[in-house]
Structures are given as C-alpha cells and as structure tokens.
Amino acid sequence: MSEIRRDPTTGDWIVVAPRRLERPWQPESFCPFDPGAPETGHGWDVLILPNRYPVVSADAPPPRPDGFYETARAYGRALVVVETPSHDLDDLSDLPVEQIEKVLRMVRDEAARAASDPGVLYLLYFRNKGREIGVSLTHPHSQIYELPVVPERIARELERAEEYWRSRGRCLHCDVVARESPSGRALLRGTRWTAFVPYYARWPHEVHVYPLRHVQLLTQLDDEELAELARVLKAVLCALKRAVGRPMPYMMVLHQAPLRGDHRYYHLHFEIYGMYRPDGRLKYAASAETGAGIYTLDAAPEDAAERLRKALASCRSDTS
Ligand code: UDP
Ligand code: ZN
Ligand code: FE
C-alpha cells in the first residue's frame, strides 16, 4: 500500500510509503553507493540512481478513493544523486567546484526529463547532511522527488508571491534580495547569485541563495549560472561547517516553481537550514515549531550572518 493523503485542515500532503521501513539504517559494513556496489558499477564520478525504497514510483497503485478525504496516486520518481565515489568525504563543500557543477548539471538534466512527464507536477531537490538529523546513509548524496502534487509550503510561497505581484506589479523575492543584499545579513554577492541570512530566518544558521536573474525553474539556469552556483554553494556550505567549530548538520532545499502552469511571479532559490545553535547544540523543531509553526531563535539572524562571514573568510584563505 502506498498513496498520498491530504490533511483537509491544513492542505498538507502526506506520502504513505510503508516499504521505506525496509531501508538500511546507517549500515557500518557496506554502502550501496560505493563504486562496485550492485547498483553503481565503476567508472563514474556522479551518479543518479533510482531510490530503492521510493516514496513515489511509476507503478504506484491507484489511490483508494475515500469518499471524504482527498487522495492522490503516489506516482512519480524518487532518485538518489550520488555526488562522489568517495564514501568518506564529509560534505558537498569538500568536492572540487567542477564536481559540484557536474552534480548540478545532472540534476538540471533530470529536471528537463521530468518536465516531459505529464504525471509529474513538482520536482523537489534536497540534501540532508549529518547523522544528527537522521540521514540513513552518510555517503555524500542528495535526493530528487518527482511528485504529482505541489508541496504545501511551496504552494504557500507561490500564493504570497502571486498576491504581491498582482498588487504591486513586482516580484516579492526580487524585493527581498534588494533588501537583503546590502544588509548586515548579506554573506556574499557574485555576478549571478547572492547569499544571505534572511531577516525571517527560522533556523539558527539559515542561508538563502538566490539567482539575481528572475527565473522560476532549475531548467532556466544557464551554464554560467550553474558554474557560479557551484562556487556559491561550496563557499556557503564550507562556512556552515566552520561556523561553530564542529561540522553543522543541515538541510538544503530547492524552492522552484511547479513544472507546469504560468508562475512568472515566482523566483527560485535554495534554502539551507544550519541546525546547530552558536553553542554547537542541535536546535529541534519541537512543539511550538512543529505543532504551531512558530519558530523561536536563541540568537539573532544578524549574529548568525556575522559568524558565517568570519567562517567564509577562513574558507577563502584556505582555498586561495
Ligand atoms: N537507499 C537506496 N538504495 C539503497 C539503500 C538506501 O536508494 O540500497 C536510499 C534510501 O531509501 C534513502 C536514501 O537512500 O531514501 C538515503 O537518504 P537520506 O539518508 O538522505 O535520508 P532518508 O531518505 O533515508 O530520510
Ligand atoms: Zn524575482
Ligand atoms: Fe522559499
């Protein structure tokens, strides 16, 4: 049994996928993503594999209509992006920038492929880092979910951006970038991308990364933009690793528009949630956060930005 259910009280989608219970949990003696493993073979430097324990799949059964609740077929694809053959590499930021660029190009290619599947409405690209936040395999990887529904948090962003566009005739996100780039929360600005700790950060070390060009989809980014994105992500993730003295667990999520429809009012960006507080302790999303959606921050975003800028400088002096 596998299906997508909707919470009628919030609009949230829940993917019921019991087969995921069988996935290996932090195995010590083998790694399915190493070169020479049954699904990987040899002679690659980046690999996109079907997730063996997928949340959605092409052979998903039709949803069982409930009569009251909204359901959707758990159709789609779940993929793992193995970012390097090196099992013991700690993080994406430890890869050469060319390799990060290659990862991004392969994800963009996959996004182009997904767009031609009428059953897929949304491509979610994300990366979990750190045992502390529950990664099941530590080999450097990110993931792609190709979904038949638009995740509710994205839908909320789309709604607010559309409303702003309608009432003011401008992109909300472009205005946020204009406000953040010259602020004390700015981290870096290239010719094509900018990174900052947003005024409205929810996590102790949260960084948003925006293309300066107003684009909606990963597939709209050109080669120069991908090349600079690789440099920016490497720098930001290196800063997160060094910000509090021990490698920071984080979640990184691409927010882009749905694959179909006119969403010209939207502006894609990456959100990275660094989850250690300044004292190196993990921030949990507990009752207030998870149960009510109100986040509490023990340290100001402006202080996080200051700390991250220092870490960025130390990353730079090491690589130059
Ligand atoms: N996985 C896989 N092949 C395997 C073992 C695991 O595709 O042989 C998948 C597994 O289903 C999981 C992913 O690898 O989705 C590892 O993901 P991560 O640790 O980032 O988080 P998870 O998805 O487990 O929450
Ligand atoms: Zn914009
Ligand atoms: Fe966002």
| Rounded distance from Cα 35 to ligand 3 centre (Å) | 35
Ligand 1 atom closest to the Cα of residue 53 is 11
pLDDT score, position 314? 96
pLDDT score, position 25? 77
CA distances from 171 to 76, 124, 155, 190, 241 (A): 30, 22, 16, 20, 32
Ligand 1, residues 28, 29, 51, 138: which to mutate, most atoms within 8 A of Cβ?
Answer: 51
Q: Residue 320 above 60 pLDDT?
A: no
pLDDT score, position 319? 67
Ligand 1, residues 30, 80, 81: which to mutate, most atoms within 8 A of Cβ?
Answer: 80
86 SS3 class: coil
pLDDT score, position 22? 77
Which residues sit with Cβ closer than 5 angstroms to ligand 3, an ion? Answer: 255
Average pLDDT over residues 3-18: 95
- Tell which residue, 151, 198, 191, 155, has the closest CA to residue 175: 198
Instruction: State if pTM tops 0.85.
Output: yes
pLDDT score, position 136? 86
Q: 91-127: per-residue pLDDT in tens?
A: 999 999 999 999 999 999 999 999 999 999 999 999 9
- Tell which residue, 105, 108, 102, has the closest CA to residue 84: 102
pLDDT score, position 29? 83
Average pLDDT over residues 156-184: 97
pLDDT score, position 152? 97
Q: Are 19 and 53 in contact (CB under 8 A)?
A: yes
- Regarding the beta carbon of 80 and ligand 1, being less than 6 Å apart is answered yes
- Regarding the beta carbon of 202 and ligand 1, being less than 6 Å apart is answered no
Higher confidence at residue 159 or residue 136? 159
Q: Are 256 and 217 in contact (CB under 8 A)?
A: yes
- Regarding the beta carbon of 27 and ligand 1, being less than 6 Å apart is answered no
